[in-house]
Amino acid sequence: MKYVFIIAGVLLIPLTIAAGLIWVERRLLALFQDRYGPNRVGPFGLIQVLADVVKIFFKEDWIPPFADKAVFVMAPGILIATILLTFAVIPFTDNFLVLDSNIGILFFLGNSSLGVYSIVLGGWASNSKYSLLGSIRASAQMLTYEVFMGLSLVGVVMMADSFSLREIVEAQQGGWFFIPQFVAFLVFFIAGIAETHRTPFDIPEAEGELVAGYHSEYSGMKFGMFFVGEYLGVTLISSLIVTLFFGGWLGPAFLPPAFWFFLKTGFFICLFILIRASLPRPRYDQLMELGWKVLLPIVLLNILITGAILIYNSSL
């Protein structure tokens, strides 16, 4: 019975956070840009999210007659499923996690790779030039930055001597990996922005060029699943940053471990939003050059230096 409650909690917590982030992002963007955010429906506009959910449920769930209907309907579900599956290996505390896998990092990388199928299939099944171009951009972007995301974690794995996310957190009791692996953290963070298609790397959804990219033809709750999937992705990447580089649930003992985990995660979620409010979108070729010409040499050099330091320390 205990595991049933843990599984339910691991499913409900990210979904609740993702729903709340719709309001949080609007309020923070308004604050950063010196304007009003949601402030009419309920106190501080808190009920605006509920109003939007009711509206999207009653919108016509239209499927274009020229679309491949089965694939068109299935695509948004793949994105939600792969992200929620990854939360199974996230250790919220030392005893609140679904699966303490000894290949937790590989499980995350595998699921994030599967998530690209949702976008490719959605764009292809829409039978629209804009959607197809958006899905091609998204797949190239995700597959490219998946390389640097995986390589940035090699140094962390070497220092913790484990692929288990719980053991990686426990290995940071003497100091967070953020300090010795600062370069890896920066690369992982940039790759995380690209993986979630957040501004400034929202090129697959560039409204000035592609209408809305791969989900141009989606409406109703199927569009809502893509929309919520983006916030789930932000929550997942923020949780992984905290787990891999900032000690996870570790913190002063006067507050419970879960508090420290969610406090750190909330900070990085707010950082995602601040970046959206402040940075312009680059060209697509600039995005690809940043990855292959800048991030790849940096992350390979980080692996080399980390390995050399660990070998030197072990020989003392």
φ, ψ at 178 (rounded to 5°): -55, -35
**Least reliable range by pLDDT among 145-159, 240-254, 277-291:** 277-291
Residue by residue, DSSP assigns 125-193 as HTT-HHHHHHHHHHHHHHHHHHHHHHHHTHHHHHHHT-S-HHHHHHTTTTS-TTTTTHHHHHHHHHHHH
Q: Is the pLDDT of residue 85 over 70?
A: yes
Q: Is position 20 within any domain?
A: no
Q: Is position 33 within any domain?
A: no
pLDDT > 70 in the chain, percent: 97
Q: Is position 72 within any domain?
A: yes
State mean pLDDT over 182-186: 94
> In 10 A of CB 2, how many CB atoms?
7
Of residues 156 and 285, more confidence is placed in: 156
pLDDT computed for residue 75 by the predictor: 81
Q: What is the pLDDT of residues 199-241, one digit of tens each?
A: 787 776 766 666 666 777 777 777 778 778 888 889 999 999 9
pLDDT computed for residue 211 by the predictor: 65
pLDDT computed for residue 239 by the predictor: 94
Q: Which domain holds residue 146?
A: 62-315
d(CA 196, CA 183): 20
Q: What is the pLDDT of residues 103-146, one digit of tens each?
A: 889 999 988 888 888 888 887 887 777 788 888 888 888 888 88
d(CA 296, CA 313): 26
Prediction pTM value: 0.92
d(CA 25, CA 12): 20
* 3-state SS assignment for residue 252: coil
pLDDT computed for residue 212 by the predictor: 65
Mean pLDDT (the chain, rounded): 85
Q: Is position 29 within any domain?
A: no
pLDDT band, residue 154 (cuts 50/70/90): very high
Q: Is the pLDDT of residue 79 over 90?
A: no
Which region, left, alpha or beta, applies to residue 175 given φ > 0 means left and ψ of -120 to 50 means alpha?
left
pLDDT computed for residue 286 by the predictor: 85
Total domain count for the chain?
1
Q: Is position 245 within any domain?
A: yes
Q: How far is CA 76 from CA 17, 257, 269, in A?
A: 19, 34, 23
State mean pLDDT over 55-79: 80
d(CA 249, CA 95): 11
d(CA 134, CA 7): 34
Q: Is position 263 within any domain?
A: yes
Q: What is the pLDDT of residues 1-18, one digit of tens each?
A: 667 787 788 888 888 888
Residue by residue, DSSP assigns 31-91 as HHTTS--S-SSSGGGTTHHHHHHHHHHHS-----TTS-HHHHHHHHHHHHHHHHHHGGG--
Q: Is position 13 within any domain?
A: no
Q: Is position 83 within any domain?
A: yes
